[in-house]
């Protein structure tokens, strides 16, 4: 029998003390699509909607697509912005009723002024329209928070397994399979959650997290297990339910799911000291780079990752490279709309006095005052994102000064692919050091071109040291602030 589905996407990853707020223009600058009219270059959060539409239409089912809105991770979302985007989705759903199912592409860590959990707020609104029996299924980024009310009001959800998030299309297929199974009365998903009482950052590109991801995969399809996920959580959110959780979805077997979720949580707890990424100090990274004969060496400027709320204009690494006299480097990139406008006006070939970066706040470091030469100017530059997705750098210039080439752009964007350099006219393989502003999404594409990739510790808004973060509202006890979070049950969100 033909079915009618409603799909939508609303998301950002909110760093609750980052300097730049998130408003409607921030969504417009990243990805804001109405009525399913996606451009050729689709944002990764829009890809699931396209997959679900294709799957539905292949079965002769009808899809009504609502808003698809995603903003580059930043500070707290403006209250009116969240409410306007939420209401646009709810209004469209109301007009599309009756529907047989709702499918959502969400991030899971969107926080607004007045809303600790925007996904919970959206799902409660959807539930109030569709009633208790219409299934709601979601795809979530693994940096999600998972509030209790959110989990209790959705039918099933699948979280990315990989960080970098190279598997978003595969997980979308699994969300589809769950919705299809529910609508065809083949499965009755039951969600089990275990709170790991941990707040942390876990890369899945090395052991032992690689093995943990494989273990989750191996469990899927055994017995009544439909899906296994790990919600890593997003540590830079001062909300009560920040933290890491294991998720097991069974076919009508909550007891087995609860036991497995707890078992997996215990296994992760045992790995806690080994799964923290290998960060190194900036001076050590430069020492190591100077010993490498053939480049490029990759420095990840993790603390200014625009994909985690950093402004993308910090200068600590560039200053250190200049101070140490390291030449033939490329910094990709620096977010600085004012500098771009000045260089556009000066034109290709011009040499001018320029103040670059270091503008968003104290965490951006001192600006770089330089005599810059404008090498290239681009209108609305597009670069490669994760998988087949695209990213928008906006108007962009490539400048050189003191042996360093800089990609300077108007749209905040994480560097996840060397096309950030090539599209700006930089031969990245000929460079000694490449500086990329990213926590981990850069890793797969840069490890493919360099044997020397360093996660460099600098001051910054995306500080990797969890015990230094101002998480006054986080449920406690929680590791690593508390060595043994299992000693008491006090004040836990779950
Ligand atoms: Zn993420």
| Average of per-residue pLDDT across 202-231 | 97
CA of 351 to the centre of ligand 1 (A): 39
Question: Could you tell me if 129 and 251 lie in one domain?
Answer: no
| Average of per-residue pLDDT across 117-144 | 98
What pLDDT sits at residue 437? 96
Percent of the chain past pLDDT 70, that is, above it, reads 99
CA of 484 to the centre of ligand 1 (A): 27
pTM to 2 decimals?
0.92
| Average of per-residue pLDDT across 224-232 | 98
CA of 350 to the centre of ligand 1 (A): 40
For the record, the structure tokens of 232 come out as 């890593």
Question: Could you tell me if 331 and 406 lie in one domain?
Answer: yes
Residue 332 falls inside a structural domain = yes
CA of 439 to the centre of ligand 1 (A): 10
Question: Could you tell me if 304 and 272 lie in one domain?
Answer: no
CA of 95 to the centre of ligand 1 (A): 32
d(CA 331, CA 456): 14
Residue 260 falls inside a structural domain = yes
| Average of per-residue pLDDT across 48-60 | 98
Q: Are 31 and 46 in contact (CB under 8 A)?
A: yes
Question: Could you tell me if 159 and 302 lie in one domain?
Answer: no
Residue 485 falls inside a structural domain = no
Question: Could you tell me if 215 and 88 lie in one domain?
Answer: no
Strand partners, 403: none
CA of 404 to the centre of ligand 1 (A): 30
CA of 442 to the centre of ligand 1 (A): 12
Question: Could you tell me if 118 and 223 lie in one domain?
Answer: no
Question: Could you tell me if 167 and 231 lie in one domain?
Answer: no
- Across the chain, what does the average pLDDT equal? 96
**pLDDT band at residue 492 under the 50/70/90 scheme:** confident
Question: Could you tell me if 105 and 163 lie in one domain?
Answer: yes
- Short-list 430, 409, 439, 22, CA closest to 202: 439
Q: How many CB atoms within 10 Å of residue 263?
A: 14
**Dihedral Cα 252, 255, 259, 261, nearest 10 deg:** 40
3-state secondary structure of 10: strand
DSSP 22: B
Question: Residue 220 pLDDT > 80, yes or no?
Answer: yes
What pLDDT sits at residue 386? 83
What pLDDT sits at residue 276? 87
d(CA 162, CA 204): 6
- Short-list 154, 100, 98, CA closest to 122: 154
Domain boundary among 153, 186, 219: 186
For the record, the structure tokens of 24 come out as 């409607």
Sole residue written with tokens 């239409």: 57
**pLDDT band at residue 40 under the 50/70/90 scheme:** confident
CATH number of the structural domain spanning residue 204: 3.30.70
Q: How many CB atoms within 10 Å of residue 177?
A: 18
d(CA 117, CA 152): 14
Express each pLDDT in 290-347 by its tens digit.
Answer: 999 988 999 999 999 999 999 999 999 999 999 999 999 999 999 999 999 999 999 9
CA of 143 to the centre of ligand 1 (A): 5
Express each pLDDT in 61-89 by its tens digit.
Answer: 999 999 999 999 999 999 999 999 999 99
Question: Residue 488 pLDDT > 90, yes or no?
Answer: no
What pLDDT sits at residue 321? 97
CA of 443 to the centre of ligand 1 (A): 13
Question: Could you tell me if 15 and 157 lie in one domain?
Answer: yes
| Average of per-residue pLDDT across 179-200 | 98
Residue 30 falls inside a structural domain = yes
Question: Could you tell me if 125 and 217 lie in one domain?
Answer: no
CA of 106 to the centre of ligand 1 (A): 11
**pLDDT band at residue 41 under the 50/70/90 scheme:** confident
Domain boundary among 186, 216, 247: 186
H or E, element range at 76: none
| Average of per-residue pLDDT across 146-165 | 97
What pLDDT sits at residue 24? 98
CA of 234 to the centre of ligand 1 (A): 8
CA of 165 to the centre of ligand 1 (A): 7
CATH number of the structural domain spanning residue 22: 3.40.50.2300
Q: Are 416 and 442 in contact (CB under 8 A)?
A: yes
CA of 245 to the centre of ligand 1 (A): 15
Express each pLDDT in 108-124 by its tens digit.
Answer: 999 999 999 999 999 99
For the record, the structure tokens of 452 come out as 């020397």
Express each pLDDT in 349-359 by its tens digit.
Answer: 999 999 999 99
Q: Are 230 and 246 in contact (CB under 8 A)?
A: yes
**pLDDT band at residue 387 under the 50/70/90 scheme:** confident
| Average of per-residue pLDDT across 16-31 | 95
- Short-list 159, 157, 150, CA closest to 125: 150
Domain boundary among 228, 254, 277: 277
CA of 101 to the centre of ligand 1 (A): 26
Q: Are 289 and 432 in contact (CB under 8 A)?
A: yes
What pLDDT sits at residue 295? 81
What pLDDT sits at residue 397? 98
Question: Could you tell me if 347 and 443 lie in one domain?
Answer: yes
Question: Residue 494 pLDDT > 90, yes or no?
Answer: no
Q: Are 189 and 248 in contact (CB under 8 A)?
A: no
Number of H helices, E strands in the chain: 13, 18
What pLDDT sits at residue 85? 98
DSSP 222: S
Residue 291 falls inside a structural domain = yes
CA of 109 to the centre of ligand 1 (A): 9
Domain holding 379, by residue range, is 279-463
Question: Could you tell me if 175 and 272 lie in one domain?
Answer: no
CA of 441 to the centre of ligand 1 (A): 9
**pLDDT band at residue 189 under the 50/70/90 scheme:** very high
What pLDDT sits at residue 487? 86
Question: Residue 491 pLDDT > 80, yes or no?
Answer: no
Residue 95 falls inside a structural domain = yes
What is the domain count for the chain? Answer: 3
Does residue 234 come out as left (phi exceeding 0), alpha (psi in the -120 to 50 range) or beta? Answer: beta
CA of 94 to the centre of ligand 1 (A): 30
């Amino acid at each position: 029998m033909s079915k009618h589905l409603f799909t939508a996407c609303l998301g950002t990853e909110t760093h609750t003390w980052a300097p730049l707020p998130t408003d409607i223009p921030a969504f417009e600058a990243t990805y804001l699509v109405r009525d399913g009219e996606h451009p050729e270059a689709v944002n990764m959060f829009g890809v699931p909607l396209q997959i679900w539409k294709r799957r539905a239409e292949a079965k002769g089912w009808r899809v009504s697509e609502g808003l698809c809105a995603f903003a580059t991770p930043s500070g707290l979302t403006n209250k009116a912005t969240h409410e306007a985007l939420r209401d646009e989705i709810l209004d469209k759903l109301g007009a599309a009723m009756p529907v047989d199912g709702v499918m959502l592409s969400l991030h899971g860590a969107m926080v607004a002024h007045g809303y600790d959990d925007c996904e919970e707020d959206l799902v409660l609104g959807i539930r109030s329209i569709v009633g208790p029996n219409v299934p709601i299924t979601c795809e979530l980024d693994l940096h999600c928070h998972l509030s209790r009310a959110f989990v209790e009001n959705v039918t099933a959800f699948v979280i990315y397994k990989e960080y970098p998030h190279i598997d978003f299309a595969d997980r979308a297929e699994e969300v589809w399979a769950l919705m299809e199974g529910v609508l065809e009365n083949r499965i009755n998903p039951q969600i089990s959650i275990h709170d790991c009482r941990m707040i942390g950052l876990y890369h899945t590109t090395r052991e032992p997290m690689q093995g943990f991801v494989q273990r989750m995969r191996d469990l899927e399809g055994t017995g009544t297990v439909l899906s296994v996920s790990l919600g890593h959580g997003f540590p830079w959110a001062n909300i009560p339910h920040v933290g890491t959780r294991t998720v097991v979805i069974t076919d009508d077997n909550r007891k087995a799911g609860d036991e497995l979720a707890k078992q997996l949580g215990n296994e992760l707890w045992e790995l806690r000291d080994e799964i923290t990424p290998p960060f190194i100090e900036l001076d050590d990274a430069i020492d190591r780079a100077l010993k490498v004969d053939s480049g490029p060496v990759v420095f990840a400027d993790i603390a200014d990752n625009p994909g985690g709320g950093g402004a993308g204009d910090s200068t600590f690494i560039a200053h250190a490279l200049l101070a140490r006299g390291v030449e033939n480097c490329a910094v990709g990139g620096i977010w600085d709309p004012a500098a771009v406008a000045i260089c556009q006006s000066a034109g290709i070939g011009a040499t001018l006095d320029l103040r670059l970066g270091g503008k968003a706040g104290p965490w951006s470091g001192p600006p770089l005052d330089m005599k810059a030469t404008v090498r290239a100017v681009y209108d609305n530059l597009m670069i490669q994102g994760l998988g087949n997705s695209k990213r928008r750098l906006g108007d962009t210039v490539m400048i050189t000064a003191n042996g360093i080439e800089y990609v300077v752009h108007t749209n905040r964007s994480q560097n996840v692919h060397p096309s950030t350099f090539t599209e700006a006219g930089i031969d990245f393989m000929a460079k000694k050091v490449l500086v990329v502003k990213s926590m981990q999404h850069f890793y797969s594409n840069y490890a493919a071109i360099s044997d020397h990739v360093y996660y460099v510790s600098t001051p910054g808004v995306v500080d990797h040291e969890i015990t230094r973060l101002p998480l006054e509202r986080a449920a406690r006890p929680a590791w690593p602030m508390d060595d043994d979070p299992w000693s008491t049950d006090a004040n836990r969100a779950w």
